[in-house]
Amino acid sequence: MTLLPPSFRALVIGSSGTIGSAFVELLQADTACSEVVGIHRNSEYPIDYQNPETIETAAKELSLGAPFQLIMNTIGVLHSKDWMPEKKLANLSSEQLIELMKINAIGPALTIQHFSKLLDPKRSVMATLSAKVGSIEDNRLGGWYSYRASKAALNMLIKTAAIELARTKPNAGFIALHPGTVNSRLSQPFGGEKIGRPALDAAADMLKVIQNLGIKDSGCFFSYSGEKIPW
């Protein structure tokens, strides 16, 4: 039995971003999805990882419309106007490490804490965007210290939450998803507009992975291709 039922309601967190908005567009056109709700920093129920209290508040507001069979968290950060991924150890700064941990690990962990309560206990999936560079085993190039570390931390948080929540929501799955290189603002400084694919294609690939998940897949890390990525 797949975790995602044939008919489902979806919640997309970070729906104003490139991948988040693509998911909303994709799900709105999917006849299996009866409703899709999107939230972001400026939505009716705002969620902003710079203000962690908004996570619990948004979850409480949306609980009135629960349950959801699919919750997709697309929030993440790689760079800003002030800094780029570090190429070497000498470039490390506490400010950058703290910022990426806040957005890429702490925010998503608190989102799982509060939004997992909105999942349908009968059958449901909560997927969080991670990145292959967060795989410790797969790290062969080095660099990108803060981003790698924040995604590795995220992966551990997802795995740990999946183990605990299996006791109270045995038919809900929690996974990390690698979207691949997407043509987006996040990837643009690294040639994403040349080597990346459209966000709608990436969302379609990831939805296909989600649609094929079974309960044994909870707590795993998947690529958009369906391949399991080593931790």
Which range (34-43, 92-101, 195-204) has the least confidence? 195-204
Question: What's the confidence (pLDDT) of residue 81?
Answer: 83
Give the domain 8-223 fold.
Rossmann fold (3.40.50)
First to last CA, the chain: 26
Question: What's the confidence (pLDDT) of residue 189?
Answer: 59
Question: What's the confidence (pLDDT) of residue 192?
Answer: 44
* Residue range 78-94: mean pLDDT, rounded: 91
Q: What is the DSSP string of 152-204?
A: HHHHHHHHHHHHHHHHH-TTEEEEEEE--SBSSTTTGGGTHHHH-B-HHHHHH
Q: How confident is the model at residue 83 (pLDDT cuts 50, 70, 90)?
A: confident
Beta carbons of 23 and 201 less than 8 angstroms apart: no
Q: What is the pLDDT of residues 151-189, one digit of tens each?
A: 999 999 999 999 999 999 999 999 999 999 998 665 455
* % of the chain with per-residue pLDDT over 90: 91
**Mean pLDDT, rounded, of the chain:** 94
Task: Give Cβ neighbours of residue 108 (< 8 Å, ≥ 6 apart).
Answer: 73, 75, 128, 154, 157, 158
Q: Cβ–Cβ contacts within 10 Å for residue 30, how many?
A: 15
Burial of 121 (0-12, 13-18, 19+ CB in 10 A): exposed
The domain limits of the chain are: 8-223
Tokens 């970070």 correspond to: 14
What predicted TM-score, i.e. pTM, was given to this entire model?
Answer: 0.94
Beta carbons of 129 and 177 less than 8 angstroms apart: yes
**Is the pLDDT assigned to residue 39 strictly greater than 60?**
yes
Q: How confident is the model at residue 82 (pLDDT cuts 50, 70, 90)?
A: confident
Tokens 């309601």 correspond to: 9
Q: What is the pLDDT of residues 51-81, one digit of tens each?
A: 999 999 999 999 999 999 999 999 999 988 8
Measured on CA atoms in the order 106, 110, 113, 116, is the torsion positive or negative?
A: negative
Question: What's the confidence (pLDDT) of residue 133?
Answer: 96
**Is the pLDDT assigned to residue 190 strictly greater than 80?**
no
**Is the pLDDT assigned to residue 196 strictly greater than 80?**
no
